[in-house]
Amino acid sequence: MKYRKIPDETIRRLPMYLRAFSLLRTEATETISSRQLAQRLGLNSPQIRKDLSYFGAFGTRGVGYPVEATARRIRQILKLNKVQKAVLIGAGRLGTALVAYPGFSSFNLDIAAVLDNDPKKIGKKIGPIKIENTDRISTLKKRDIRLAILAVPAEAAQKTTENLVKAGIRGILNLSPCHLKPARPVKIIDIDLASQLGILPYYM
């Protein structure tokens, strides 16, 4: 295929593919066709073939995609072949739930630090991680932490973002219900839980 810009939507689906391939590996499946995979994921097969073909041809015609190799390739594309460290800002209920969430490790994502500005929480532990004061945000760079999960109240979100960007953070998963304006361009993914639930009644 001639060079084309890779659609954001394709990137968005890659983790889904990766999870499916990882699961298949535990089922001792060696190859899978785009049709079978589509069935599992609720997509249609040309979608999957096109997505994967952006990164070169790694299926075999008449057979399908090799599970092991394809998983490895997707991990490489997403830069998930080495552990990526993330910091959690905000050790509230939602934040705490995320630290305990087992789903991150299968993507090689590691919540390596938790920060909060509540003196009562600082020093306490969530699982194996000790909660640090928010002013330690400046130490993230030298600790090789480039990702942040933002789970602070809306009022604090903008200010925290500015500090995160200063501290060399390159990507933010924003769980607060507001639009962040980083000083430098940084990849931000917004997850607004209340808004998402608020959409549902419209479709009933």
- Site of interaction with a second copy (CB under 8 A): 11-12, 14-16, 18-19, 40-42, 77-80, 84, 86, 92-94, 96-98, 100-101, 103-104, 106-107, 109, 146-147, 149, 170-173, 177, 179, 181, 187, 189, 191-204
Q: Which is nearer to DNA, 54 or 104 (CB)?
A: 54
Q: How far is the CB of 200 from a second copy (least distance, A)?
A: 3
Helix, strand, coil percentages (3-state) for the chain, rounded to 5, are 45, 20, 35
Structure tokens at 47: 């979608």
From 178, 135, 141, select the one nearest 156 (Cα to Cα): 178
52 binds, among DNA, a second copy, none (CB under 5 to 8 A by kind): DNA
49 binds, among DNA, a second copy, none (CB under 5 to 8 A by kind): DNA
Closer Cβ to DNA, 1 or 199, answer by number: 1
Q: Give the shortest CB-89-to-DNA separation in angstroms.
A: 28
| Beta carbons of 10 and 77 less than 8 angstroms apart | no
Q: Which is nearer to a second copy, 41 or 129 (CB)?
A: 41
- Burial label for 197, CB within 10 Å (0-12, 13-18, 19+), is exposed
Q: Which residues pair with 125 in a beta bridge?
A: 130
C-alpha to C-alpha distance for 177 and 183, rounded to whole angstroms: 19
State in angstroms the smallest separation of the CB of 61 from a second copy.
26
